[in-house]
Structure 1
Amino acid sequence: MGFDWGDFGVAVGLALVFEGLGYALAPDFMRRLYAMMLLEPVQRLRLMGAVAVCLGFVAIWAIRG
């Protein structure tokens, strides 16, 4: 199974859609969210990012298997 640039493009597009939804629908909430993130310790943000990456890989594996 080779790398499929089409699937990669769709994944990037979906990431942009989900990122943009917050700013389009609730920009004030996004500002508050980022302000709260500035107060979080770096290690906690790293851990949350690593957990999100792992969950993403598990979801892809479960769906695309």
Structure 2
Amino acid sequence: MVDFFSALAVALILEGAAYALFPDAMRRMIVQVLATPDRIVRAAGLAAAFIGLILLWLARSGT
């Protein structure tokens, strides 16, 4: 459970930093995502989740 909350905290830190450091770029990105078809957004989300799962597996299997 500690690992889950640690990962959530890191995700929030990175997300918050992106919005704090680059607010205009983040707004432009949101507009682009809203204009992108659902199937493309879904595929990108699944790809990101799969890559994250592989990276997590690699990090955990190395210890």
- Per-residue deviation at 1:32? 0.4
Distance 1:39 1:51 in 2: 19
- The TM-score normalised by the length of structure 2 is 0.93
5+ residue gaps, structure 2, are none
Question: Displacement of 1:11 after TM fit?
Answer: 0.4
**1:32 maps to what in 2?**
28
How much has 1:60 moved relative to structure 2? Answer: 0.3
Helix, strand or coil for the counterpart of 1:17?
helix
Unaligned runs of 5+ in 1: none
Shift of residue 37, structure 1, vs aligned partner: 0.6
- The runs of at least 4 aligned residues of structure 1 exceeding 6 Å deviation read none
Which whole-Å CA distance do the structure 1 matches of 2:3 and 2:34 have between them?
A: 33
Give the share of equivalent positions with the same residue, in percent. 38
Letter in structure 1 aligned against 2:40: R
**TM-score, length-scaled by structure 1:** 0.91
